[in-house]
Structure 1
């Protein structure tokens, strides 16, 4: 069996994508040269929203289900600070991830994990450009990636080229999902020995072991 390509479709604000973070870390570690992250824009642009009390209650219930199923942590800081009327918008995270992909494709999965951890564990508002820029710059410094820009927040806000590149990327993912007849995130399209398969659900939520078993079964 030879894995030709792995395409991971996600949104940075998707709780179930956070549930699949351990599986993605395994894929990035072992198949980084064949792994492509594909943001689908589920919670950006028209998918973004202001968090209402009713929506927050539903989100927290879903978060607790994810925590129970996968062990992924959702802190009290996150619950208190970010489910009380903040903006729910993945726009700036998508732009930061796209910027880092231009530097090094391997950086993208690591930055995604850092952004998710900052939100769900540290309670930081990753719908804000300045917060996303701060997290991104700190992660780049720690892992010795050269961001090449002292004003990353400004770039996330006003860089027309980065905005266009991110929008084109998301549009391409949406087009691909339409062509394949797939929906929902997270989703892994695995091309093995020239044949494409769809991996989703518990195979992604079960961490490194379950995604490894799922890939091994594609013969």
Structure 2
């Protein structure tokens, strides 16, 4: 039976970036489709100003993620993102950009997510900027999504809120308090998968998932 994996995430979540080595391989599993659902965890009331204390906490956590997953958190990111006291820690713009991709070229949303994460954590780019995000999407050849990202219209914003609503409903239903989270659905049956166990040994975790 076909299975759907609902992936709950936030583009500013370091642990979600840490899952980057696992997600593309999920789509290779037979009979499995991957559905991305941004939660908006760090947008709206979840957004905040970057300060020295929060930057220090984030960097310490990022180093733990890097040791566990091998994903790079560069000095460019530390200096230009965590060191920026003017721009807010706000995933709203990146979430809107991903919704624009989901509307215009949905098969490439995971690619766009990973490019946005790389831009932040490796290149040290400001992915809280609609202009920066639009330029990034143009670079991927996602021109329609880029145009909508730079000047979000009512349809895009409405679609974005609908996606956030679906993700938050799932989080409440399964009593989830953070991301990333993965919910497997097969027919009417749904269950939460423990994604944290995949970080130290992705292949073993994938083998277990394939056997479900």
Q: Same fold (TM over 0.5)?
A: yes
5 Å matches for 1:36-75? 36-75=35-74
Q: Relative contact order (alpha carbons < 8 A, sep ≥ 6): 1 or 2 greater?
A: 1
Residue in 1 that maps onto 2:122: 121
2:123 aligned counterpart, secondary structure: coil
Structure 1 CA distance, aligned partners of 2:137 and 2:64? 29
Deviating more after overlay: 208-217 vs 92-101: 208-217
Alignment size in residue pairs = 210
Q: Tell me the CA shift for residue 72 of structure 1.
A: 0.5
Corresponding residue for 1:162? Answer: 156
1:115–1:7 distance in 2 versus 1, CA, 3 Å? same
Secondary structure class of the residue paired with 2:144: coil
Structure 1 counterpart SS, 2:41: coil
Question: 1:189-216 CA deviation, whole Å, 9 max, x = no partner?
Answer: 0124653221134334246414412313
Which deviates more, 209-218 or 161-170?
Answer: 209-218
CA–CA separation in structure 2 for the residues paired with 1:92 and 1:197: 30
Normalising by structure 1, we get a TM-score of: 0.87
C-alpha contact 1:4 1:194 (8 A) present in aligned 2:
no
Q: Deviations over 1:129-183 (max 9, x none)?
A: 11111111211x2xxx5x3367445324xx1221121012101210121122223
Q: Distance in 2 between matches of 1:11 and 1:83?
A: 17
Indicate the RMSD between aligned Cα atoms, in angstroms: 2.1
Unaligned runs of 5+ in 2: none
Partner of 1:112: 113
Moved over 6 A (4+): none
Does the 8 A contact of 1:9 with 1:40 survive in 2? yes
Change (3 A) 1:163 1:195: same
1:96 shift after superposition: 1.0
Gaps of 5+ in 1: none
